[in-house]
Amino acid sequence: MSTVRGARERARAEVTAAIKDEARRQLAAEGAARLSLRAVARELGMVSSALYRYFPSRDDLLTALIIDAYDAVGAAAEAAHARSDHRSGLACWVGVSAAVRTWALDHPHEYALIYGSPVPGYSAPQDTVGPASRTALTLIAVCREAYVSRGMALPLLPEQLAPEAQRMAADFAPDLPPAVVAALVAAWAQLVGLVSFEVFGQFHRVVEEREAFFSYAAAQLGVSVGLLGEV
Longest alpha-carbon distance in the chain: 66
Q: How many CA atoms lie within 13 Å of 140's alpha carbon, on the beta-carbon side?
A: 20
* Residue 48 binding partner per list DNA, its own copies, none, with a CB distance cut-off of 5 to 8 Å that depends on partner kind: DNA
For the chain, the 3-state helix, strand and coil shares in percent, each to the nearest 5, are 75, 0, 25
Task: Give the other-Cβ count within 10 Å of 27's Cβ.
Answer: 21
Residues 135/187, Cβ–Cβ less than 8 Å: no
* Residue 11 binding partner per list DNA, its own copies, none, with a CB distance cut-off of 5 to 8 Å that depends on partner kind: DNA
How far apart, in whole angstroms, are the C-alpha atoms of residue 182 and residue 175? 13
In the complex, least distance from residue 31 CB atom to DNA, rounded to whole angstroms:
12
How far apart, in whole angstroms, are the C-alpha atoms of residue 131 and residue 113? 14
* Residue 89 binding partner per list its own copies, DNA, none, with a CB distance cut-off of 5 to 8 Å that depends on partner kind: none
In the complex, least distance from residue 40 CB atom to DNA, rounded to whole angstroms:
8
Residues forming the site for its own copies (CB under 8 A):
29-34, 112, 115-121, 129, 155-158, 160-161, 164, 167-168, 172, 182-183, 185-186, 189-194, 196-197, 200-203, 205-209, 212-213, 216-217, 220-221, 224, 231
Residues forming the site for DNA (CB under 7 A):
8, 11-12, 15, 35-39, 42, 46-50, 52-54, 56-59
Q: Which is nearer to DNA, 30 or 211 (CB)?
A: 30
Q: Which is nearer to its own copies, 54 or 203 (CB)?
A: 203
DSSP for 109-129, written as a single string? HHHHHHHSSPPTT----GGGH
Q: Which is nearer to DNA, 14 or 85 (CB)?
A: 14
Q: Which is nearer to DNA, 48 or 149 (CB)?
A: 48
Residue 210, C-beta contacts closer than 8 angstroms, at least 6 positions apart? 198, 203
* Residue 53 binding partner per list its own copies, DNA, none, with a CB distance cut-off of 5 to 8 Å that depends on partner kind: DNA
